[in-house]
Every structure is written in structure tokens, then in C-alpha cells.
Structure 1
Amino acid sequence: MITSPAWKDKKYAVLGLARSGRATVEALLAAGADVLVWDDREEAREPYNGRCAIGDPLEADLTGYAGVIVSPGVPLNTHPIKPHADKFGVPVIGDVELFAQAREHLPAHKVVGITGTNGKSTTTALVHHILKTAGVPTTMGGNIGLPILEQEPLPEGGVYVLELSSYQIDLTYSLDCDVAVLLNITPDHLDRYDGDFAKYAASKCRLFEMQSTDHDAIFGSSTEAACRASLGLKQRVHVFDREAYEHPDHLVLRGPHNAENIGAADQVRRVLDIAEEVAFSAIDSFSGLPHRMERVAEISGVAYVNDSKGTNTAASAPALAAFDNIHWILGGLAKEPGLGECEAELPHVKAAYTIGKAGPDFAALLEGRVPVEQCETLDRAVTAAAAKAERGDTVLLSPACASFDQYTDFEKRGEHFRELVEALV
């Protein structure tokens, strides 16, 4: 695990004992810190009896504490922990901030931080795959893979590749990325920012504000000008145009959004001095991530694609752009009204099948433009689409919505789609 002698004999509170919270507690204890832990679930607290103080930080006197560590899922704009900690002058931080504090005690390394509304996970995994192919010691963490503090430190010359959501950046104050990447910014998660898109965008941009001037910042051509103007960037700036990275023959990395992901990864490899031939060999062998334009099966000439990670219209539009003759399964818990960027891709849609809470609204928007069937549930939608799809068609789950009305997360929704498709064989 990753620890720091800087934590020794300091007091910390950890609120939430899911996986990242547990990893944080273990790292702090290993470093000799004094830790107060809390989770509303008694079974989550039980393993820490006798090892930590147990109590709700909201009811604790936090005088002298070095930090309160919370999960990125804790909404700082509404949760009472932030004002409570503020009364004692105690920062509310996340595990990525602890990693940032531990860096000076790790073997010499670099950190690549990747943020953006859409494409973060694929780009992070692709950069990691390129580095592995090049023989560079590397690991990935942050919003992907294992909690970063749970991982073993890399040897000298290693590269940590971190996917960073706006929530994680909000809890981070000293992460000076050697390479920071912003893919795109579109409206998302605005409930966490009081409905203010500017606040959400500013959260993403803080990744660059934390950078030293001799480090590297990478932007897509769509975001660079605005960020340069608002941030007064002094670090080395690299800009890529996704149109230069279209890869239409790649079975996984298809569509304009993946051109953006490839472009960002290529800029990272340039900064890290990875040979072009190595990088593009890695791109060709990249198998992608689950739930992101994942080709589940081909049955009787019909392709079934799981893009459950399409949780907003901006994320689903590129998937629609990547295929023709699409039987589109969409719906769930809408994050914004209307079809957004999906509107322009409707010529690719042969028929639509709506599910979830937003299903009736989507059906009304699509009526008269494409054949549409209100299915309510995913199992009905898959059955209906399979019955109507013909050889050469694609059945695409790309909901343009969050999953929480019917599933605990987008992974569970994608896994259910995969199970339903496998049952068709």
C-alpha cells in the first residue's frame, strides 16, 4: 500500500467505509496515524473495533485534526460535514489528496491526471495500456481500478495514471500532475454544483491550477481556448484535434469520441517520450472497457453493443455516430431535458425502444421521427429490438441517462443487458 511518514501521529477522520474508505483507513493506520472512522452501516464499522476510534465526525470535536477524508460520493454542496469541519479549520479531502501528500516519499515517478465529462475511463485505460506495452512501470487509479492507496508503490521511473472526476478534484488541493489532460466539458452532475455549469467547469479546471509551470497540460481543440483564457495557463500546453485521430476500422475505438480519446492518449505518449510505433501498436491491441461501446455478441448478423456508460446525451451521441441501422435502447433517470447532442445522430437510428422513468418523455420526443416503442424495462426492450433487427443492424444500449431509477449503477445495467443478449443465443 501507499503510505506517508507525514501522517504519523496526526489525527484524521474517515467518513464512509466503502472500498476507498477502507483503503484510506489501512494506509493511515500503517503510517501511524490516529484515525476516527464512521459509516452508517454497523457491519462496516465492526472490523475497526479496537483498531480505531469509532464515531460520527459530525458529532466530534475536530480540534487538531489534520483532515476529514470522505468519499467522492459525498455532496459537498449539501452535506453537513463540510460546514462542520470548517468550524474547526479542518480540510475535507479525499484519498487522492492523501496520495498527493505521499508522493515525495515514493520512488521518482510521474503522474498523469485525466479529467473531462466523457471519455475519462477509456483514455485512462488506453494511456495505461500504451505505457505497459512500452515496458514502463505503471498503474491506474483514482476513479478507475483499485483505490490508489491500496496499490503498491511503483518502482523508480513509474507512471501513475489517474482518472479524476470533478468530485475527486474538489477534494484535492496539492496534486501537481506532471501531465494533466482535459478531454471535454459538457453539462453533467449539475446537482452537485447548484445547477451552475460554470462551477462544474471550474472544478475540472482546478486540475491545471494545481500544476507547476514546468509541467504539461493537454486539451482538445474544443476546450483549449476557453481554458487558456480563464486560467492564464503558464505550463506547457499541447492541443490536439480529434478529427486527426479517426480510426474507423478499430472494432473498439470507433466514433468521434474515441478519436478524442486516442488524440489525448497520443499527446500523453509524446510528452512521456513513448515511441509512436509502440503507442499505435498498443492502440490497435486495446480491447476497451466494459459498458463503453462493448461489443457483446453478434447473433444472426446483428451486433449487440453495450454502452451503458452513456449516462448523458453528450456521452450517447458519439455511440450513435459510430454505427448505422441502430435499434436504440434509451432511457433511465434523465440528467437534462431533450435529446441534446443525440438529436444530430438520429439519421443513424432505425428504431428506438424507451425504458425507465424518462422513457415516456423520450418517446414523445422521438415520435414521428423514428419508429419508437415504449418498453419500460430493459428485458422488454432487448426482446423487442431482437425481434425487429435484421442482418447488418446494431442493437445499441446507450441510455443517455443515469441508471438509478432501475439499477444501482450503470455497471449493473450493462451486466443485465449482457445477460439478456447471451440468453438470445
Structure 2
Amino acid sequence: MITSPAWKDKKYAVLGLARSGRATVEALLAAGADVLVWDDREEAREPYNGRCAIGDPLEADLTGYAGVIVSPGVPLNTHPIKPHADSFGVPVIGDIELFAQARPHLPPHKVVGITGTNGKSTTTALVHHILKTAGVPTTMGGNIGLPILEQEPLPEGGVYVLELSSYQIDLTYSLDCDVAVLLNITPDHLDRYDGDFERYRASKLRLFEMQSEDHWRLEPFDRLVMTDPWDVWGVFGEDGKTHRDATVLGSQEDWPGLQGPHNGENAQMAIAATEAVGLSEEEIASGLRTYSGLPHRMERLAEIAGVAYVNDSKGTNTAASAPALAAFDKIHWILGGLAKEPGLGECEAELGHVKAAYTIGKAGPDFAALLEGRVPVEQCETLDRAVTSAAAAAQAGDTVLLSPACASFDQYQDFEKRGEHFRELVEGLK
């Protein structure tokens, strides 16, 4: 695990004992900190009896505490812990801030931090894969993989690759990324920012504000990001579609796990980030060719009777689903769930790729009304009915695509559970 002597003999409160909370408590205790823990679930508190103090930080005198650590899921704009901690002058932080504090005591290393509304997980996993393929000691954490404090420190020369949501950045104050990547910013999660898009945008941009001046800052189509031994943007052109002649780096057709214009953009940023930490074009090309993709993100599950079945359950807003629609033709589109915004958003421009639509979940009737008269649409309500209908209608050469453009919480615990259900239903068609 990652620990720091900077925490020794200091007092911390940890609110929430899920995965990252448990890892945080263990790291703090191993470092010799004095820890107060709390979770509303008695079974989550039980393992800490006799190991540290147990009590609700909201009811505690926080005088002298070095920090209150909360999970990114705690809404700082509405939860009472923030004003309570503020009244004692105690910062509310997350495990990423503790990692930042531990960095001076780790073997010399670099950190690549990746944020954006869409594409974070794919780009993080791709950067990690390229580094690993090149033989660089690396791990990934933050909003993906194991909690960062639970992982073993990398040896000298290692690269930590962190996926960072705006929620995590809100809880972080001293993370100086050697390479900071901003993929995009579109309206999402605005309930956490009282409906204010500019506040959400400012949260993302803080990743840059924490950086030293001589560190890499990568933004879309920013030609200043490269030392320019070759023109990375020429792979696709600035429209994200135009391919250059193949070189050692190759072109998108050479990268089977990175299809679609959105993955073209993700690849561009991953190329820039890995070049910034010192990889060669040949090393990067090897990683691009062998990257297999993430579950639930344009994941090709099967081809049955000539029909492709693609799981894009991680498309939880219209901006995330639009690239998936752009990547295929003759699509039987399964969409719906808990809508994050009104309308079809960026999906509107991609309806020419849709052969038929099948709506599910709470937003199903609204989507059906928006699509009526533009593409054939069937209100299916549930995913199993949608898969059955789409499979019956699809012909060889078509694609059945689950890309809901919605959150899952009206019918599923999370987008992973929704994607797993889709996988099970597709397996049942074989």
C-alpha cells in the first residue's frame, strides 16, 4: 500500500467505508495516524472496533484534525460535512489528495492525470496499456481500477495513470500532474454544481491550475502540446476523421480496439500523453495495435447470423452515445434510462446511422416521442424486450447497439449491471 510519514501522529476522520474509504483507513493506520471512522452501515464499521475511534464526524469536535476524507460520491454542495469541517478550519479531501501528499516519499515517478466528461476510462486504460506494453512500470487508479492507496508503490521510473472525475478534483488541492489531460467538457453532473455549467467547467480546469508551469498540459487540438518529432494531429486531421498516410504510428484502421471518431480523439490524447512521458513512436504504435478496449464501452460482444451486438452501456449521456452511433451503420439502437438532459443532444446529428430504435426505462416515452417519424421506434420498457425485438428485426450486416444516452439508476444499480444484463441476453440468443 502507499503510505506517507507526513500522516504520522496526525488526526484524520474518514466518512464512508466502501472501497476507497477502507483503503484510506488502512493506509493512514499503517502510517501511524490517529483515525476516526464512520459509515452508516454497522457492518462496515465493525472491522474497526479496537483499531481506531468510531464516530460520526458530523458530531465530532474536529479541532486539530488534518483532514476529513470523504468518497467522491459525497455531494459537497448539499452534504452537511463540508460546513461542519469548515467551521473548524479543517479541509475536506479525498484519497487522491492523500496520494499527492505521499508523492515526495515515493520512488521518483511521474503522474498522468486524465479528466473530461467523456472518454476518461478509455483514455486512462489506453495510456496505461501503451506504457505497460513498452515495459514502463505503471498502474492506473483514481476513478478506475483499485483505490490508489491500496496499490503498491511503483519502482523508480514508474508512471501512475489516474482517471479523475470532477468530484475527485474537487477534493484535491496539491496534485501536480507531470502530464494533465483534458479530453472535453459537456454538460453533465450539473446537480452537483447547482445547475451551473461554468462551475462544473471550473472544477475540471483545476487539474491544470494545480500543475507546475513546466509540466505538460494537453487539451484537444492544441498544437502546442507536442515537442513535434511528428505531427500527432495528422493521424486524423482536425476534423477527427481524415486519415494520414500510414507511418510507424499507423492509422485508426490498425487499432481494432479504438474504432469510431470519439476513439480517434481518445487515441490522439493518449499518443500525446505517452509521447510527453518519453515513449517513442514505435513503442506507442505497439500499444495502439494491441489495445482491446474496456467492458461496456463499444464492447463487441458477438456476431450472430451476421448481426453484430455491441455493448456501450457506459454511454450515460447523449454526448457519450453520439460517437457510438457515428461508428456504425444500420444500427438497431437501444436507448433510455434515467435522462441527464432533455432532448437528443449530439445524437441528433447521427440519426442517419439508425435503422430502428427501441426505448427502455423512465426516459423511454420521451425518446420515443422525439424519434417518432424520423426512425422506426418501439417502446419496449425493459432491456430484455428491447433485445428480443431488435434481434428479430436485425439482418446480416446490421448492428444491435446498447448505447442508452442515460444513467441506469431507474432500473439498474449502475451502468456495469446494465451492460452485464445485455451481455447475458445476447448470450441467450446464440
State the match for 1:57 in structure 2.
Answer: 57
State the match for 1:272 in structure 2.
Answer: 277
Say if 2:338 is the partner of 1:323.
no
State the match for 2:288 in structure 1.
Answer: 283
Say if 2:2 is the partner of 1:2.
yes
Q: Which amino acid aligns with 1:303?
A: A
Say if 2:186 is the partner of 1:181.
no
How far apart are residue 3 of structure 1 and its match?
Answer: 0.2
Indicate if the aligned counterparts of 1:291 and 1:308 stay in contact, CA closer than 8 A. Answer: yes
TM-score by length of 1: 0.95
Q: SS at the partner of 2:219?
A: strand
Indicate if the aligned counterparts of 2:299 and 2:310 stay in contact, CA closer than 8 A. Answer: yes
State the match for 2:146 in structure 1.
Answer: 146
State the match for 1:412 in structure 2.
Answer: 417
State the match for 2:213 in structure 1.
Answer: 213
Q: Give the alignment's Cα RMSD to 1 decimal.
A: 1.8
Query: What is the aligned length?
Result: 416
Q: SS at the partner of 2:252?
A: coil
State the match for 1:15 in structure 2.
Answer: 15
CA distance in 2, matches of 1:17, 1:244: 48
State the match for 1:339 in structure 2.
Answer: 344
Indicate if the aligned counterparts of 1:332 and 1:406 stay in contact, CA closer than 8 A. Answer: yes
Counterpart among 394, 404, 412 of residue 399 in structure 1: 404
How far apart are residue 247 of structure 1 and its match?
Answer: 1.5
TM-score by length of 2: 0.94
How far apart are residue 243 of structure 1 and its match?
Answer: 4.1
Indicate if the aligned counterparts of 1:11 and 1:64 stay in contact, CA closer than 8 A. Answer: yes
1:102-251 pair list within 5 angstroms: 102-221=102-221, 240=233, 241=238, 242-243=240-241, 247-248=252-253, 250-251=255-256
CA distance in 2, matches of 1:273, 1:7: 33
Q: SS at the partner of 1:3?
A: coil
Indicate if the aligned counterparts of 1:214 and 1:236 stay in contact, CA closer than 8 A. Answer: no
State the match for 2:83 in structure 1.
Answer: 83
Once the two structures are overlaid, the 10-residue window that deviates more, 277-286 or 139-148, is: 277-286
CA distance in 1, matches of 2:327, 2:253: 8
The sequence identity of aligned pairs, in percent, is 83
How far apart are residue 96 of structure 1 and its match?
Answer: 0.2
How far apart are residue 236 of structure 1 and its match?
Answer: 9.4
Indicate if the aligned counterparts of 2:307 and 2:395 stay in contact, CA closer than 8 A. Answer: yes
State the match for 1:297 in structure 2.
Answer: 302
CA distance in 2, matches of 1:334, 1:90: 36
Indicate if the aligned counterparts of 2:138 and 2:161 stay in contact, CA closer than 8 A. Answer: yes
Q: Which amino acid aligns with 1:341?
A: E
How far apart are residue 250 of structure 1 and its match?
Answer: 3.7
Indicate if the aligned counterparts of 1:219 and 1:239 stay in contact, CA closer than 8 A. Answer: no
State the match for 1:386 in structure 2.
Answer: 391
Q: SS at the partner of 1:65?
A: coil
State the match for 2:382 in structure 1.
Answer: 377
How far apart are residue 194 of structure 1 and its match?
Answer: 0.4
CA distance in 1, matches of 2:107, 2:423: 42
Indicate if the aligned counterparts of 1:220 and 1:239 stay in contact, CA closer than 8 A. Answer: no
CA distance in 2, matches of 1:3, 1:186: 36
Indicate if the aligned counterparts of 2:232 and 2:268 stay in contact, CA closer than 8 A. Answer: no
Give deviations 1:377-404, integer Å, cap 9, x for gaps.
0000000000000000000000000000
Q: SS at the partner of 1:220?
A: coil
CA distance in 1, matches of 2:307, 2:256: 15
Give deviations 1:275-309, integer Å, cap 9, x for gaps.
11121121111000000000011100000000000
Say if 2:362 is the partner of 1:357.
yes
State the match for 1:48 in structure 2.
Answer: 48
Q: Which amino acid aligns with 1:172?
A: T
Say if 2:340 is the partner of 1:348.
no
Q: Which amino acid aligns with 1:365?
A: L
CA distance in 2, matches of 1:279, 1:62: 49
Q: SS at the partner of 1:167?
A: helix
The alpha-carbon distance between structure 1 residues 276 and 239, as it changes in their structure 2 partners (threshold 3 A), is closer
Give deviations 1:328-377, integer Å, cap 9, x for gaps.
00000000000000000000000000000000000000000000000000
Q: Which amino acid aligns with 1:284?
A: R
Unaligned runs of 5+ in 1: none
Q: SS at the partner of 1:328?
A: strand
How far apart are residue 249 of structure 1 and its match?
Answer: 5.6
Q: SS at the partner of 1:61?
A: coil
Unaligned runs of 5+ in 2: 244-250
State the match for 1:37 in structure 2.
Answer: 37
CA distance in 2, matches of 1:188, 1:239: 29
CA distance in 2, matches of 1:102, 1:251: 38
